[in-house]
Amino acid sequence: MGIGRMGRKLRAYNLVKTLFVLVALAVSACHREVAMPPLPLRNIALTDKFFDVWPTSPTRAFIVGDRGKVLLTEDGGRTFKRIDIGTQLGVFGIQMTDDQNGYLCGQDGLIMRTRDGGKTWKRLDSRTHLFIFGLSFPDANHGFFVGDRALVESTTDGGESFVKRQLQKLFPPELADYALPYEEPVLYSASFTDVDHGWVVGELGRIWATENGGKSWNEQQQSLLPQWKREPGINDDKRFLDFLLPTFFSVSFRDQKHGAACGLEGWVIQTDDGGKTWNFAHQADKPGAAPDSLVPGASQIPARDPLFSIDLFGGDQGITTGLTGTVLRLQPNGAWAHDPSVPALPFPLSQARFFDAQHGWIVGYGTILYTADGGKTWHFCQG
């Protein structure tokens, strides 16, 4: 009996063991059958921060952003290719001077150059670790970079060497102690129409212009002071009233005479004489509507969105973008109207650039938009 019971136990144990092995094999076989390949890495995510875009043709464009991200599309945003530039530093600006040559700039004094159409990028010795926010190249060899602490760097040999300077107002000795809050303003944007004529804008309403390739510079914001009707605050020093203008983040010139800039308090300024005089431009709720009658500097409720980018293109076109998806287009009467054709997005829109009157791009936080019909419709690029 004992032996028989033991035999039955052994057979039952072996049966359970066999069933366990068969189940394990079946489960593993099922896992092998339903195994899925890893999901492809998306080139565009809501967490991305895109800062600039530069189109080189109606359908080809580079987009740059946070953590060294550089994308290239050659089919109008249907597909994107990620380019490894060998750094995780944020890239704030990019410009291609032709199909093969281009430059980018960013954090920690980052300046890089491509000579092969953007396939590879080489870091150049910028001689600084300051953030570089903007750049402008009128040709492949002559360029200007602007950034933190009033930084301006220029090159005449395609980045082989740089001349570095601080572009700021020099105060007389008797004002030196009082002028400390106004020293070394951040410079955000530059626009050169040729190797001689260029403009730089930045913090505290700074506008600088050169007519000799950066050998000398002149301030241009003085014409805005009578138009800015904000009363100085209790702690504002009236000896520095021209430093109480709003910060300008972006500037764009279509030729030596016609330019525009935009900035912190949502105002656009314009010039038709190369910056000898600047004027605050009015805005409208929609295209065709009458311009508003707001007084520059007066209290506004609700406050306007800051405007981060401006691009003048074609013979008479212009676009500017801002904080909560704001997009304004230049109207024939000189006002800037809110553009209802752009999808309503609650994200900061960092930059807009058009290749020509029909083909353009808008980039921002988690956003890349493309138009092929002059902005009548916009395509949301999925990557």
| Amino acid, res. 200 | V
Task: Give the SS3 label for residue 78.
Answer: coil
**What's the predicted TM-score (pTM) here?**
0.88
CATH superfamily assigned to domain 47-380: YVTN repeat-like/Quinoprotein amine dehydrogenase (2.130.10.10)
Q: Output the six-digit token pair for 52.
A: 């600039």
Which position has the higher pLDDT, 35 or 135? 135
Give yes or no for residue 36 having a pLDDT over 90.
Answer: no
Select the more confidently predicted residue: 236 or 193: 193
User: What pLDDT score does 210 carry?
Assistant: 98
Q: Is 312 left (phi over 0), alpha (psi -120 to 50) or beta?
A: beta
336 neighbors 330 (Cβ within 8 angstroms): yes
Average pLDDT on 36-65 reads 88
Which is more confidently placed, 302 or 189? 189
Q: Cβ atoms within 10 A of the Cβ of 151, count?
A: 24
CA distance 217 to 235: 30
What is residue 42's predicted lDDT score, i.e. its pLDDT?
Answer: 80
pLDDT given for residue 35 in this prediction: 56
The predicted structure's pLDDT at residue 41: 67
Q: Express each pLDDT in 297-355 by its tens digit.
A: 998 888 899 999 999 999 999 999 999 999 999 999 999 999 999 998 899 999 999 99
Is the separation of the CB atoms in 135 and 105 below 8 Å?
A: yes
Q: Which own/partner pairs from 236-242 qualify as long-range (CB within 8 Å, at least 24 positions apart)?
A: 237/178, 239/175, 239/178, 240/178, 240/179, 240/182, 242/205
Which residues lie across from 93 on neighbouring strands? 105
Over the stretch 124-133, which tens digit does the pLDDT of each residue have?
A: 999 999 999 9
SS (H, E, C) 1-65: CHHHHHHHHHHHHHHHHHHHHHHHHHHHHHHHHHCCCCCCCCCCCCCCEEEEEEECCCCCEEEEE
Q: Could you state, in order of their start, the residue ranges of all structural domains in the chain?
A: 1-35, 47-380
pLDDT at 38 over 80: no
pLDDT for the residue numbered 306: 98
Angstrom distance (rounded) from CA 6 to CA 236: 99
Q: Is the pLDDT of residue 8 over 70?
A: no
Percent of the chain with pLDDT over 70: 89
As a whole number, the mean pLDDT across the chain is 90
pLDDT, tens only, 81-117: 999 999 999 999 999 999 999 999 999 999 999 999 9
